[in-house]
């Protein structure tokens, strides 16, 4: 679980540095999402302000590539949403004569199967509207993750240089979040999706840690 602790530690440092004192924020690192709020968001679907990130270089045969991507994502979304044994997580590899496509779909484990499906379908629509001929796309969402590349990003180290970004939802006077993170025991996280709350005096904050899994 060293990669889990490492990603969780980086995410907590980033979110406290970029969003000090904010009431609600979310940060995405390469293989980790960390979100906090003063409101309980457990089991609450949130597809607002999804953020697609993509490689600007497109494939040589976009029409054929779209067919492969659409079929792959359809299968992934179905498996992640409604296959109980998948635990809302699915990966797929598709090999053609010119490339191998690696894709991942994952939802927050507190969602219902139908909310998971809705979240991933919205992310899929985000891809279709912006960049479905791109050589690599990920959609950053608060409730799910949809991602495909031409390299096996969910095995071992990734080759992306994407840095952590924090999107501060509310910028108001509030207790500094850094004080709360001092109570967070990163080493105690033993699962890929961990939703919990922390109390400090009469304050309570809800937090969610999601580490995007690597295949064994």
Please report, for the domain that includes residue 68, its CATH number. Answer: 3.30.430.20
Phi-psi sector, 201: left (phi>0), alpha (psi -120 to 50), beta: left
Residue 89 belongs to some domain of the structure:
yes
The total number of structural domains that make up the chain: 1
Residue 59 belongs to some domain of the structure:
yes
Question: In percent, how much of the chain has pLDDT > 70?
Answer: 67
Residue 216 belongs to some domain of the structure:
no
Range in 1-10, 105-114, 180-189 with the lowest mean pLDDT: 180-189
Instruction: Sheet with 193-200: list strands edge to edge.
Output: 165-170, 24-28, 32-37, 203-211, 193-200
pTM over 0.85, yes/no? no
Range in 31-40, 108-117, 138-147, 160-169 with the lowest mean pLDDT: 160-169
pLDDT digits (tens, 9 = 90+) for 2-25: 555 666 677 777 777 877 777 778
Residue 177 belongs to some domain of the structure:
yes
Residue 39 belongs to some domain of the structure:
yes
Domain that holds residue 188: 2-211
């Amino acid at each position: 679980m060293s990669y889990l602790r490492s990603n969780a530690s980086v995410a907590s440092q980033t979110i406290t540095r970029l969003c000090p004192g904010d009431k609600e924020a979310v940060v995405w690192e390469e293989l980790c999402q960390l979100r906090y709020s003063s409101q309980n968001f457990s089991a609450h679907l949130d597809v607002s302000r999804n953020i697609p990130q993509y490689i600007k270089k497109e494939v040589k045969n976009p029409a054929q590539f779209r067919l492969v991507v659409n079929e792959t994502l359809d299968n992934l979304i179905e498996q992640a949403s409604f296959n109980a044994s998948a635990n809302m997580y699915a990966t797929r590899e598709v090999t053609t004569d010119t490339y191998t496509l690696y894709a991942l779909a994952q939802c927050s484990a507190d969602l219902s199967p139908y909310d998971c499906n809705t979240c991933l379908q919205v992310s899929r629509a985000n891809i279709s509207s912006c960049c479905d001929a791109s050589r690599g796309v990920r959609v950053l969402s608060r409730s799910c993750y949809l991602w495909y590349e031409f390299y096996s990003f969910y095995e071992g180290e990734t080759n992306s240089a994407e840095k952590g970004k924090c999107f501060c939802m509310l910028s108001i006077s509030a207790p500094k979040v850094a004080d709360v993170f001092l109570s967070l025991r990163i080493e105690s996280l033993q699962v890929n999706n961990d939703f919990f709350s922390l109390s400090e005096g009469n304050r309570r904050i809800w937090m969610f840690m999601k580490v995007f899994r690597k295949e064994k």
